[in-house]
Amino acid sequence: MSGSAGVKVTVWNEYRHERNDEQVKAVYPEGIHEALRSGLSSFGYEVGTATLDEPEHGLTVEKLNDTDVLIWWGHQAHDEVDDAIVQRVQERVLQGMGLIVLHSGHYSKIYKKLMGTSCALKWREADEKERLWVVKPSHPIVAGLPEYIELEEEEMYGEHFDIPDPDDLVLVSWFEGGEVFRSGVTYSRGQGKIFYFRPGHETYPTYYREPVLRIIANAVKWAAEERGASPYYGNAKPLETIVAKK
């Protein structure tokens, strides 16, 4: 796919903090998923939402089959996500659906399943400045950005981040406490593209920030691009037999 026209995005969110924490509700009164839906719609994408407490977590077979890129935000209820739904999402990624994992979604079942590691890190919940440096300026995910963006208040994530070596390291964060973190990393799994993007603690208005939304929007476009060859798996006839029939 090229551009944003026709790209179908589903934003998945636990939608728990916004209902049971007044501080979070004040920042995202309609939920993080609605903030992201509104922000990404302004880039021309067709955006729907799904939440944890919907039947099948809102991720039915039909919904996923109609999704080009799935965005995932989770935090306090990772263990409540049904393993059968995780398997369903993984299969769609392998088939070619893009996946963007945000902030504490690093510890989600789906991200850990696709990475094959613990995805553990160190963190500190404090009002700290975060500076996200673009370390691969040629990558389409950071198109239109300056060499860094700055968030005045965010939660700290620090290395070591227990993930496989990424295909591309796009963004690195520095925090006032001195830590650094691989904040924007890409992977391919099967036919699917994956982007992990660090910012987005629920008590800060990060997902209203234009540079943050631009990175996510760029990532959607990148993850939804047409794939290359479609491989065939299984019992194969000799190549000369196939050629002879043409």
Distances in whole angstroms, Cα of residue 131 to Cα of each of 114, 119, 175, 184, 219? 28, 22, 7, 12, 19
pLDDT at 246 over 60: no
The C-alpha atoms of residue 223 and residue 70 are separated, in whole angstroms, by: 9
Per the document, the length of the chain is 246
Task: Extract the runs of DSSP E, i.e. beta strands, from the chain.
Answer: 8-13, 46-51, 69-73, 98-102, 122-134, 148-158, 168-175, 180-189, 192-197
The C-alpha atoms of residue 150 and residue 158 are separated, in whole angstroms, by: 17
Q: Which of 180, 57, 48 is nearest to 108 (CA)?
A: 57
Question: Which pTM was predicted?
Answer: 0.93
Please tell me the predicted confidence (pLDDT) of residue 242: 53
Q: What is the pLDDT of residues 103-126, one digit of tens each?
A: 999 999 999 999 999 999 999 988
Find out whether the peptide bond into 106 is cis, omega within 30 degrees of 0: no
Distances in whole angstroms, Cα of residue 4 to Cα of each of 42, 65, 96, 157? 10, 18, 17, 31
- The distance from CA 182 to its chain's CA centroid, rounded to whole angstroms, is 14
Please tell me the predicted confidence (pLDDT) of residue 125: 87
Q: What is the pLDDT of residues 5-50, one digit of tens each?
A: 689 999 999 999 999 999 999 999 999 999 999 999 999 999 999 9
Please tell me the predicted confidence (pLDDT) of residue 28: 97
3-class state of residue 18 by DSSP: helix
pLDDT at 63 over 90: yes
**Burial class (CB within 10 angstroms; exposed 0-12, middle 13-18, buried 19+) of 84:** exposed
The C-alpha atoms of residue 141 and residue 222 are separated, in whole angstroms, by: 7
pLDDT at 1 over 50: no
CB–CB of 178/88 below 8 Å? no
Yes or no: is domain 8-118+182-228 CATH 3.40.50.880? yes
Which pLDDT band, with edges at 50, 70 and 90, does 133 fall under? very high
The three-point CA angle 12-13-17 to 5° equals: 175
Which pLDDT band, with edges at 50, 70 and 90, does 230 fall under? confident
Q: What is the pLDDT of residues 185-221, one digit of tens each?
A: 999 999 999 999 999 999 999 999 999 999 999 999 9
